[in-house]
Structure 1
Amino acid sequence: MNDNNGMSWTDDGCEAWRVRYHKEICHGLAQALSNEEFTDIKIIIDDKTFNCHRIVLSIMSPYFSAMFASGMKECQDGVVHLQNVESGAFEKILKFIYGGQDVIDTENVDSLLQAAVMLQIKCLQERCEEYMVGKLDPENSLGAWKLAQGHGCSCLAERAFQFILYYFEQIWKTEDFLAIDCDELLQIIDNNNLNIKSEELVCEAVMRWVHSNVDNRKKDLPRIFEKLRLPLIQPEYLIDVLEHNKLITHNQPCRDVLEEAKRYHLLPARRQEFVSPRMSFRNFGDFEEVVVCVGGTDDNSKTTQRVICYSEKRSKWFSLASMPHDPGVEFATCSYGNAIYISGGSTK
């Protein structure tokens, strides 16, 4: 499409003009803030005063919009004393609101996120969360998770928690791990997505957490032991380590969980009858529970040596190693531990 001057208004041209328009309006707003032109509200934080524009603050912040529409005395006087926001953080927030500046760095992101949540500046909150997700590491992920939970930042909380689960083998050795509370610890160790090489490592992490403040935390051991998957631990560890720990042996609920795991290992022939919430395999583990189909008939109604299994976790069928010979029909199967035994069979 051409205008009267012969200029082409293509989609690319419109987009370029939108970008130019946004730059111009942001520049104008930033100038109005810097020059304090047409200001109609003073925001006072501690001993610092910020001269602002109600309409600009209201557009970006439902918090200010509700305040200015309420008819409160402070608004009528044109002066608002803002609590629970640092003056340095608010100065950065004004640069973001008026000029769209990216004002976030590692030093101020925590205070900016808290202020953005309080002032209901959604786009700044999302930018802070995005920044923190990009900076997650084993040293800061627990702090980011707790901060996000405390301020209702669901995106950051979810991403930080998934990071904690995946890098748990590094995170449990940090000092921040010792500062989490019991409920947070349980939330981590009970998750099926916990990425660990063995359940022994979870026990080591738990006991490190308990011993860091043993007088106050030993009471939490029964709740914690309910979530430890002791049947999946090597029997040597159960006997040589856990059974020699007085915090465990002097606690009846913990002893009961330990005895359950010992029975599982002592009676492998009965494992298929063993039912316990502590027998669930992790999604990152070497094992998972499957349904196995042995033998049967093929499309031509002939018996087969095939063995297939179905993974409920992955919603998929897999082929296992075939039987060494075709048992025909009327054979029996039984499991012993993770092995399957076949007996009998007939070619009739």
Structure 2
Amino acid sequence: MEHMHRSFSSVRLSRRAELRSSLTYEYAKHIPSAATPPTVSELPAMAVYSTLQRARAGKDKVPEWSPMMEGGMQLLNRDGHSISHNSKRHYHDSFVSMNRMRQRGLLCDIVLHVGTKEIKAHKVVLASCSPYFHAMFTNEMSESRQTHVTLHDIDPQALEQLVQYAYTAEIVVGEGNVQVLDLISSDNLNVPSEEEVYRAVLSWVKHDIDSRRQHVPRLMKCVRLPLLTRDFLMSNVDTELLVRHHSECKDLLIEALKYHLMPEQRGVLSNSRTRPRRCEGASPVLFAVGGGSLFAIHGDCEAYDTRTDRWHMVASMSTRRARVGVAAIGNKLYAVGGYDGTSDLATVESYDPVTNSWQPEVSMGTRRSCLGVAVLHGLLYAAGGYDGASCLNSAERFDPLTDGNLYAVGGYDSSSHLATVEKYDPQANAWSPIANMLSRRSSAGVAVLEGMLYVAGGNDGTSCLNSVERYNPKTNTWESVAPMNIRRSTHDLVAMDGWLYAVGGNDGSSSLNSIEKYNPRTNKWVAASCMFTRRSSVGVAILELLNFPPPSSPTLSVSSTSL
């Protein structure tokens, strides 16, 4: 009996090992296995076991790499104790099988309703292939718990084709489903950059170049060439024969280059091709970057999701920054200058929410903390600030590749707090004074909402302020609005979803983690959820995101507190 029990246990353990290998293979098309007969026998080729046996007997040398079957068999160790099989067809065969199950309605957990059509599918497949469905099924949306979802404003045939593509990587484009081609001109096209659209168009044309060459001019009009980097335009677009051989395409290339070479004229050159794509499903997310509190300068960052009224920690900057300027361009966040606790900074870094990571950018020509940062016509402007020795009146701009003006509001000139305001016209490349504010203010929060310039809080040289005023550019006048509930200076102010948010700052005695928001329709301030960290001299900006929070970031939250 003891012998039988041991034999049974051995078989059971062997099957467990086989099951683990099988599950590993199903997800990774890769089997690591010990070179023992029960495990090796499960591999696709018995020849592998024979090869190992011959090598052990000294008849053959165990190869490091052996191309076998449709994939490959890698013999990892020279002593012949482990092997690895890699199947190139596994992913393809798996999706073919899943598509057959979809067509038969097996294991489907979602039914898409569009018009009178019902399309059965698997959530995991749709979510893995589409950021739109990923957001729908993984975030706290009601659809994530439903088995039936109704979609609007899309052609049933086009949706059927797109679902089919998710399973097969094949799509038939013809006159009957031309809506799929129209996607490249849509604002709702969700791509990391316009380079993806350009490459997709060329790939489609070159797949059947003889019959599709004629469509190049019409397709290129849908690609937003001005949003490509200057280097990409010169090294890829300008050298592409399909572009050079069509005069209409050359005109589009010239338009894009003029947009880059004459940045002061971008307001005049603005058209549908210069406007970044913005998906309707994207939600605004408020980012609080760096800042300082008692005895600390912060490099960590957090983001506020208006849908859930929660804060989430995201990736930290590479450098600690207080008194930092922050702005958003496209789908990236820029942290400009600041103070790291030792010196004022000229360095700049950008945050990509897709990868949840920060990357260094070109440094400014001057060290600046307590600076003003804003975006105008796709250019990032840094104005004023402190370089460690004196207050600055200089300004510089960065093209990382909006009709309007830039405003420098209040501040401190080394001797007094200011009520003066200046306006910058990029076409004239000149600053001009406008009406003074009602109060002197330095370290105030400034933002634009519904065509009005708001200035909140700050310091007048005597005390920390909670007063708020706004400027009407049409009448060149200032008026007072409801004061904040808390006195704040060195905070930041930002507009989002028709509200103004006052974030962090200092109340005259301590750094703050509290947030309050202003409704211009009721002229009232109310509390929002607090941050995790007290932050004065904080930088704040907004990104429109489809998928938030990033999968690699921890999900944390605190509840709202009354002011």
TM (normalized to structure 1)?
A: 0.42
- Which structure carries more helix by proportion? 1
Larger CA Rg, structure 1 vs 2: 1
TM (normalized to structure 2)?
A: 0.27
* Greater RCO, 1 or 2 (C-alpha within 8 Å, sep 6+): 2
